[in-house]
Amino acid sequence: MRYPFSEIEFKWQKNWEEQQVSKTNLTETSNKLYCLVMFIYPSGAKLHIGHWYNYGPTDSWARYKKLKGFNVFEPIGYDAFGLPAENYAIKTGIHPYDSTMTNIKDIREQLKQMGCMYDWNAELMTCVPEYYRWNQWLFLQLYKKGLAYRKNAPVNWCPNDKTVLANEQVQADGTCERCGSLVIQKNLTQWFFKITDYAEELLKGLDQINWPEKTRLMQRNWIGKSIGTEVKFKVENSSDEITVFTTRPDTLFGVTYVVLAPEHPLVAKLTKPEFKNGVDKYIDSVKSLSEIERTSTIKEKTGVPIGANAINPVNGQKVPIWIADYALLTYGTGCVMAVPAHDERDFEFATKFNLPIKKVILKSGTKPEEIPAEAYTEDGIMINSGEFNGLKSSAGIEKVSDYIEKNKLGTRKVNYRLRDWLISRQRYWGTPIPIIHCPSCGEVPVDEKDLPVELPYNVEFNPGGESPLTTNKEFINVKCPKCGADAKRDPDTMDTFVDSSWYYFRYLNPKVDGKMFDTSLTDNWVPVDMYVGGAEHATMHLLYARFIHKFLRDLGYTKSDEPFSTLVHQGTITNQGAKMSKSKGNVVNPNDFTLKLGSDVFRLYLMFMGPYELGGDWSDKGIAGTERFVLRTYEIFKRFPDILLKANSKEKFNIPELNSEEKIVYRKTNQTIQKFDEEINNFRFNTAIASLMEFINELLKNIDKCSDEMKAYALRRFGTLLAPVAPHLAEECLEIIGSKESIFGKPVWFAPDTEALIEDKVNLAVQVNGKLRATIGMPNNSDQSYVKEIVFADEKIVKYIEGKTIVKEIFVKNKIYNLVVK
RNA sequence: GCCGAAGUGGCGGAAUUGGUAGACGCGCUGGACUCAAAAUCCAGUGGGGCUCACACCUCGUGCCGGUUCGAGUCCGGCCUUCGGUACCA
């Protein structure tokens, strides 16, 4: 290959490092731009196509912003704790610390070869005590506010990874987000962060951030706000009450039975002796089902009556109490009022068990006495509802709720689907939870001055269901800080999503000692202006980080409400339709291309493949195209060495004075500046690069007939536009034509000459009855009367309108002339 | 089931507010260079028709309908693929 990429890339990477062009002056904040990619998980797989696809184009965007005059901060780091390193240790015996450090070393080298302008002074990794002690500190702050707490609850357990998982880490099909094994339910005592306290704010904040609509919607659905009313039902011959939650108080008169979740504490108390046998049997049968089986919507609903009756507070009607697995203990009150006529699930259940169906909402166009074939869940007019008859549903919801509250039968309530974040993990390679369990004092938080609780090196990795930390006696056995008695440390570690919930603060000064992060810097630099990463984090990392950010704000550590002002998701690159993964054996190694073609060619190709947000299936078929583009670019610059020094530099040309080739080149140069800027600014890299290809095509055709001034003008601009997307190549090209220093050391960008954007000739489409019949060249901005004359003289058009009546003429300047004829 | 995104040549993909569909690139075909090949350069390239040829005609953006002088773009109804979600009362 005639383009010596390896020398050129080495040369400029060295130059950038020596000149420190990627080091950000953090004290200059008036034009600050914090551009961040999701940090990298240092697994044995090293850098793969997905990383390149995330980092390369984002770096191009950041470089573009830098050339435009922004003070860009672009850091990178390592999400270094986590399961895969530990699983690797179990398999190979290599300690997670050792494998992680080796991987980081390799990955750092690979990242440098990409040629991104990362500020290496800001590099961080989460697996060192200087970092993770602040996870522990954060935990203690949450604990103090009651937002970190321990409870026994049914939780998700991954039998393969031998740890519990948060709700967000279980996929729709009930499998583990990390390893794909089927997750089971266990009752365990675990640590939770009370993210639900922030549910409303997390929901509202979505309106103020510039995120993809899709992602905001996913978070909205995940938070799942629902507005309704809790209603108390008295139990016949009992002092107990059953509280149900409903979003449809207007259907309260239609209740024909009440359902409790099988695990509900009232079940044992309320079950009549003669029903006990059936109820116990039923509860057993429910327990034996997996979560997926149980919550499957396809499965037929099951349930049994418990023999007791509830009393409908609005009409005094006695209705039977059932238990059924479609009532979930974890949502609302765990009790449901069943209105079969107006709820699909209740309808299905009532039909199966022959329970009465009572219509209380009239669908318009139907009669009250008609027997419904299915539940009617929309709005209608209330019937069979006493004093509320005749009200519309929407009004009924309010009126019935008013009535309930006035008569102390219940209260309005907002429920969220969001559950608290389960953060303990029965694994080794993570942040130890800073709690000591004392037989007499209970759970005792580690004193802040005793942080970090260091993760010991020596443990047994595969203790079979127990946390590995229990195998290190020195670690686990401590004295209670309160009473001095023998006590034990909490053996669990934190979910690694805790690490990633605040790392963007730490980047500004990862070496800062004595505090989580340096607020003198973060106050000016956070929020992150541009955050780029995969959409798969929509309801995990991106939700957790927003929560922790708001918590830190409430403690006074940041002034901003949101961590990431603008978010962009790169698409996923698949291979033969499947996600790339080691287990599937379809991972494409970027080195195969970078070693052969250079990093600029590879970066250009990734950007040129298609829309960034879409990703797509991997194919190297078109890479020859970007390779040729790079070659042609390099060669055209080589033809004009030092042209910048030889020619008088001009910033603007007078178009009428130019010859026809110069006109073409001048126009194309400025049109490309305009187009490229617009496209790359919006992450449309594919069309940005296409515009550069068009540009060089015109240059190659016309440059020999241009003056030296025009050559210098066009080539300088071409090199500049090229710089964000092919940084090494562009630096070299600019140097060839006489540039003396790195463009990134001294940023330059050009504004287009607006006069050059206008073509003096345009092709106008002439249509007859909407069909294209001719295209006619016209001076730019010709008016209708002028165009009309030419159109009506055109023989092709005359052919179509001869002998016909012209009904209408439509003229759009510079675009079309449409004749409607009969 | 529900929510969201997407369906355009042989392929990846372009097309402001509705205004010449197929930019740019791959591939392919022909030509130049070469002993030959690769590389490179030049020309052509949506389907069909017609012509010696230039031209011209016609059909074409998942399917069916609609609005409009004009629809890839707007509206209604489907189909397919991919994400998210899963009885949330």
pLDDT tens across A582-634, in order? 777 788 899 999 999 999 999 999 999 999 999 888 999 899 999 999 999 99
Among A577, A620, A576, which Cα is nearest to A602's? Answer: A620
How would you list the strands of the sheet with A578-579, edge to edge?
A578-579, A573-575, A616-617
Residues 6+ apart with CB under 8 A from A299: A293
Considering all nucleic acid strands, name the nucleotide whose C1' atom is nearest to the C-alpha of residue A816: B19
The tens digit of pLDDT for each residue in A238-254 reads: 999 999 999 999 999 99
Identify the band that residue A771 occupies on the pLDDT scale cut at 50, 70 and 90.
confident
Structural contact between residues A551 and A515, judged by C-beta atoms closer than 8 angstroms: no
The tens digit of pLDDT for each residue in A410-424 reads: 999 999 999 999 999
CA A43 to chain centre: 21
Structural contact between residues A567 and A210, judged by C-beta atoms closer than 8 angstroms: yes
Least confident span in A353-362, A653-662, A724-733, A780-789: A780-789
- Can you give the pLDDT at residue A805? 81
The tens digit of pLDDT for each residue in A511-562 reads: 999 999 999 999 999 999 999 999 999 999 999 999 999 999 999 999 999 9
Q: Which residues face A392 on adjacent strands? A: A381
CA of A8 to C1' of B25 (A): 25
Question: Residue A202 above 90 pLDDT?
Answer: yes
CA of A820 to C1' of B72 (A): 23
Considering all nucleic acid strands, name the nucleotide whose C1' atom is nearest to the C-alpha of residue A214: B4
- Can you give the pLDDT at residue A175? 79
SS3 assignment, position A287: helix
Phi, psi of A678 (to 5 degrees): -60, -40
Considering all nucleic acid strands, name the nucleotide whose C1' atom is nearest to the C-alpha of residue A678: B16
CA distance A392 to A381: 5
Question: Residue A150 above 70 pLDDT?
Answer: yes
- Over range A186-204, report the average pLDDT: 93
Identify the band that residue A375 occupies on the pLDDT scale cut at 50, 70 and 90.
confident
Protein-covered nucleotides on strand B (Cβ within 7 A): 1, 3-5, 11-15, 19-21, 23-27, 40-42, 56-58, 69-71, 83-89
Phi, psi of A484 (to 5 degrees): 80, 0
CA of A538 to C1' of B4 (A): 13
Percent of chain A exceeding pLDDT 90 equals 74
The number of CA neighbours under 13 Å toward the Cβ of A47 is 23
Least confident span in A203-207, A438-442, A746-750, A784-788: A784-788
Taking residue A582's Cβ as centre, other Cβ atoms within 10 Å add up to 12
Residue with smallest Cα–C1' gap to B81: A577
SS3 assignment, position A306: strand
CA of A596 to C1' of B37 (A): 22
CA distance A565 to A727: 27
Phi, psi of A780 (to 5 degrees): -55, 140
Residue with smallest Cα–C1' gap to B84: A218
Residue with smallest Cα–C1' gap to B85: A172
Instruction: Report the phi/psi class of residue A218: left, alpha or beta, with left for phi > 0 and alpha for psi in -120 to 50.
Output: alpha
CA A820 to each of CA A767, A774, A777, A797, A799: distance values in angstroms, whole numbers, following the listed order: 8, 15, 21, 12, 14
CA of A494 to C1' of B15 (A): 50
Largest CA distance in chain A: 109
Among A563, A586, A562, A568, which Cα is nearest to A576's? Answer: A586
Phi, psi of A529 (to 5 degrees): -80, -40
The tens digit of pLDDT for each residue in A294-322 reads: 666 667 788 999 999 999 999 999 999 99
Phi, psi of A329 (to 5 degrees): -65, -30
Q: Which two tokens stand for residue A320?
A: 């039977």
CA distance A252 to A261: 20
Considering all nucleic acid strands, name the nucleotide whose C1' atom is nearest to the C-alpha of residue A624: B26
Look up the pTM and report it. 0.94
Q: What is the DSSP string of A179-212?
A: T-PBPEEEEEEEEEE-GGGGHHHHHHHGGGSB--
CA of A775 to C1' of B59 (A): 20
Considering all nucleic acid strands, name the nucleotide whose C1' atom is nearest to the C-alpha of residue A617: B12
The tens digit of pLDDT for each residue in A56-87 reads: 999 999 999 999 999 999 999 999 999 889 88
Structural contact between residues A242 and A260, judged by C-beta atoms closer than 8 angstroms: yes
Q: Which two tokens stand for residue A602?
A: 């590879």
Q: Which two tokens stand for residue A288?
A: 């034996």
Residues 6+ apart with CB under 8 A from A221: none
CA of A820 to C1' of B12 (A): 39
Q: Which residues face A616 on adjacent strands? A: A573
Structural contact between residues A117 and A13, judged by C-beta atoms closer than 8 angstroms: no
Residue with smallest Cα–C1' gap to B15: A687
Considering all nucleic acid strands, name the nucleotide whose C1' atom is nearest to the C-alpha of residue A684: B14
CA of A769 to C1' of B60 (A): 18
CA of A609 to C1' of B7 (A): 18
SS3 assignment, position A405: helix
Considering all nucleic acid strands, name the nucleotide whose C1' atom is nearest to the C-alpha of residue A334: B89
Considering all nucleic acid strands, name the nucleotide whose C1' atom is nearest to the C-alpha of residue A777: B20
Give chain A's mean pLDDT. Answer: 92
CA of A686 to C1' of B67 (A): 34
CA of A3 to C1' of B10 (A): 31
CA of A54 to C1' of B43 (A): 39
Among A725, A727, A700, A729, which Cα is nearest to A714's? Answer: A700
CA distance A323 to A303: 5
- Tokens 């829309």 locate to A611
Considering all nucleic acid strands, name the nucleotide whose C1' atom is nearest to the C-alpha of residue A170: B85
Q: Which two tokens stand for residue A298?
A: 């396809």
Interaxial angle between packed helices A5-19 and A599-608, expressed in degrees from 0 to 180 and rounded to the nearest 10: 90
Residues 6+ apart with CB under 8 A from A396: A249, A250, A382, A385, A388
Question: Residue A288 above 80 pLDDT?
Answer: no
Residues 6+ apart with CB under 8 A from A294: A286, A325
Taking residue A819's Cβ as centre, other Cβ atoms within 10 Å add up to 23
Question: Residue A156 above 90 pLDDT?
Answer: no
What ipTM, to 2 d.p.? 0.94
Structural contact between residues A606 and A683, judged by C-beta atoms closer than 8 angstroms: no
Handedness of CA A69, A70, A73, A74 (dihedral sign): negative
